[in-house]
Structure 1
């Protein structure tokens, strides 16, 4: 009899508020000091009209959601499409839905991040390796 795969999480989510402090810390850690993220007056002259969060900072909410899967989760691949800007103070929710069991403990999840209005700000997919919890 073949061993059955452990049960895997069908859907996981993570919600957070994007703060000015987080944006500033991310800029310092990443070295991405683009004025559209840090300078209100410079950002006012852009198509966005105000400061926006780094896309990769917001994408971190996907990682936080995937980390809630039971077991040890190892990121293998991520495709992202940045659909809308995220502004200081926005609430974002990453939703990861199981799409496929790829075998060998690897799973593909559809990954979507929405803002407080339900608008998609990031769309994509991720492949993770899940090692069962002891």
Structure 2
């Protein structure tokens, strides 16, 4: 694997995994709201969020889920793979200042279409905050 191309399909094995961690900041939430237009007050207004079931502001779920894209696009399979689909189940809120770790694990390989099915999870302090499954298309090794 190099910086311009990740793993080739032939390099992948079931059970292989990679992860990426990031502490989510006030700036991350503000920038995500600006880029996406999602200004839901549970994310940006402390007074509103304090009266919510979360008792304070929480990060956008899709901001946390975006860390999965980092793992897929930069680590496993890495640069060159094509993100085909993603299912998500949000299990718990992520707060500003939390360090979230996205982990992907190769679950199944489909050689006929060069597709990999990956288990995707995000953890905060060892607690699962998000789980799902991704499918990516991966280049074959050049002849």
- Which aligned segments of 4 or more residues in structure 1 are displaced greater than 4 angstroms? none
Is the 8 Å Cα contact of residues 14 and 65 (structure 1) preserved in structure 2?
A: yes
Is the 8 Å Cα contact of residues 82 and 122 (structure 1) preserved in structure 2?
A: yes
Range with greater deviation from structure 2 (118-127 or 96-105)? 96-105
1:99 pairs, out of 89, 107, 122, with: 107
Is the 8 Å Cα contact of residues 18 and 91 (structure 1) preserved in structure 2?
A: yes
**1:81 aligns to what?**
89
Is the 8 Å Cα contact of residues 11 and 97 (structure 1) preserved in structure 2?
A: yes
**Structure that is richer in strand per residue:** 1
**1:131 aligns to what?**
139
Task: Kindly tell me the number of residue pairs found equivalent between the two proteins.
Answer: 129
Is the 8 Å Cα contact of residues 80 and 122 (structure 1) preserved in structure 2?
A: yes
Is the 8 Å Cα contact of residues 71 and 132 (structure 1) preserved in structure 2?
A: no
Distance 1:35 1:70, change over 3 A: closer
Structure 2 stretches of 5 or more lacking a match? 1-8
Post-superposition Cα deviations, 1:19-48, rounded to whole Å, max 9, x if no partner, equal 111101100110110000001111100011
Q: Under a length normalisation based on structure 1, what TM-score does the superposition of the two structures give? A: 0.91
Is the 8 Å Cα contact of residues 72 and 78 (structure 2) preserved in structure 1?
A: no
Range with greater deviation from structure 2 (66-75 or 93-102)? 66-75
Q: Under a length normalisation based on structure 2, what TM-score does the superposition of the two structures give? A: 0.85
Is the 8 Å Cα contact of residues 72 and 133 (structure 1) preserved in structure 2?
A: no
Residue 132 (structure 1) shift: 4.4
Distance 1:94 1:114, change over 3 A: same
Structure 1 stretches of 5 or more lacking a match? none
Distance 1:133 1:35, change over 3 A: farther
**2:98 aligns to what?**
90
**CA RMSD after TM alignment:** 1.4
Residue 70 (structure 1) shift: 4.3
